[in-house]
């Protein structure tokens, strides 16, 4: 009878519980700072809340809020962004205006202004939360 090797799929996570890759093959050896679970996890929507007791869990919904989604595009009017988690990053994009901004957010509340009319896609990411996304519109006064 031939020897059949069984290859399983493992989800590899880092010390924060953030999934970093999938591994398919014989049982993986754990490397320092990394762990694994014996199934497929979805990095965009799942994480490991307790790396000492690894169970894939759905990421919580972001608590970020905007006080409005339309503002005057004058560089003065602003949107208040609240409930920002520590170590968050904001991504602001507008293909119509050629705007691309990515920077860290360091406080639980921040402000956003634009100086050109148009739609802007905003994404705020902070592990372990799901990304917050919204479209804001700058209008002419």
* 18: pLDDT strictly greater than 70: yes
Q: What is the pLDDT of residue 10?
A: 83
**What average pLDDT is seen over the chain?**
88
* 61: pLDDT strictly greater than 90: yes
- pLDDT digits over 90-128, tens only? 999 997 778 788 999 989 999 999 999 999 999 999 999
pTM for the model stands at 0.82
Q: What is the pLDDT of residue 40?
A: 78
The residues near 96 (Cβ < 8 Å, ≥ 6 apart) are: 118, 119
The residues near 108 (Cβ < 8 Å, ≥ 6 apart) are: 82, 83, 84
The candidate with the shortest Cα–Cα distance to 112, out of 97, 92, 134, is 92
User: What does the pLDDT average to over 5-30?
Assistant: 78
CA 141 to chain centre: 33
- pLDDT digits over 67-93, tens only? 999 999 999 999 999 999 999 999 999
Q: What is the pLDDT of residue 99?
A: 78
Domains and CATH numbers, the chain: 8-58 (no CATH), 65-139 (2.60.40.10)
Q: What is the pLDDT of residue 4?
A: 47
Q: Whole-angstrom Cα distance, residue 4 to residue 31? A: 26
Q: What is the pLDDT of residue 93?
A: 93
Q: What is the pLDDT of residue 98?
A: 80
């Amino acid at each position: 009878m031939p020897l059949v090797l069984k290859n399983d799929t493992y989800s590899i996570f880092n010390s924060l519980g953030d999934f970093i890759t999938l591994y398919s093959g014989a049982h993986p050896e754990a490397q320092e700072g990394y762990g694994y679970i014996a199934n497929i996890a979805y990095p965009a929507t799942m994480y490991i809340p307790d790396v000492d007791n690894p169970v894939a869990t759905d990421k919580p919904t972001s608590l970020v809020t905007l006080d409005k989604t339309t503002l005057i595009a004058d560089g003065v009017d602003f949107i208040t962004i609240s409930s920002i988690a520590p170590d968050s990053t904001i991504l602001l994009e507008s293909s119509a205006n050629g705007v691309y901004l990515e920077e860290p957010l360091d406080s639980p509340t921040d402000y956003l202004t634009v100086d050109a009319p148009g739609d802007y896609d905003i994404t705020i990411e902070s592990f372990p939360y799901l990304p917050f996304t919204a479209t804001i519109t700058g209008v002419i006064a």
